[in-house]
Amino acid sequence: MEFLKRLVVEEEGQGLVEYTLIVLLVALVFWLAVKNADVGTALSNSWGSVTSCLTDPFGCG
């Protein structure tokens, strides 16, 4: 019971928790932005172009 009282009163880890929440919020916003920008399809198309140029360098254009 004493431990629970001490958790409520002490504020030593408050800054760490706040910074963690900010980092999570930024990561969530970044993830949503990347998801909505459809980066995966663009990367897939680019990678396909690179592999086709490697297999046939003279046919690459």
Do 60 and 53 touch, CB atoms closer than 8 A? yes
Report the pLDDT value the prediction gives residue 3, as an integer from 0 to 100.
Answer: 79
Report the pLDDT value the prediction gives residue 61, as an integer from 0 to 100.
Answer: 65
The Cα–Cα gap between 18 and 24 comes to 10
Q: What is the pLDDT along the chain (61 residues), one digit of tens a residue?
A: 787 777 677 777 777 888 999 999 999 999 888 887 877 788 888 999 999 898 888 887 6
